[in-house]
């Protein structure tokens, strides 16, 4: 079973318009885009503390070595 062809996509689009109405579709797309944008932002923010923690840990270990010397 492959991807839907042109006629199937048109039928799906008509059904979506009938279910949600033409006015709600842009709002749904905007909400979906905002959600994806926030998800990407949160995943990037989650990665950043790990990188800063590594550099903080390295700086602390360097300071300990300097104190011991």
Per-residue pLDDT of the chain (69 residues; tens, 9 = 90+): 677 788 998 999 889 888 888 888 888 889 999 999 999 999 888 776 554 555 555 555 555 555 555
Domain regions of the chain by residue span: 26-69
| Token representation of residue 59 | 């700086």
Token pair of 26 as six digits: 């842009």
Both tokens assigned to 8: 């199937």
Q: pLDDT value at position 66?
A: 58
Tokens of 16: 């979506």
- Provide the pLDDT for residue 57: 55
| Residues 46, 13: Cα–Cα separation, whole Å | 37
Contacts of 60 (CB under 8 A, 6+ apart): none
């Amino acid at each position: 079973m492959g991807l839907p062809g042109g006629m199937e996509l048109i039928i799906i689009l008509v059904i979506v318009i009938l279910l949600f109405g033409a006015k709600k579709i842009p709002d749904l797309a905007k909400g979906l885009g905002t959600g994806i944008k926030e998800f990407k932002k949160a995943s990037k923010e989650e990665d950043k503390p790990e990188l800063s923690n590594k550099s903080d840990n390295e700086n602390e270990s360097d300071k300990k070595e300097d104190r011991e010397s």
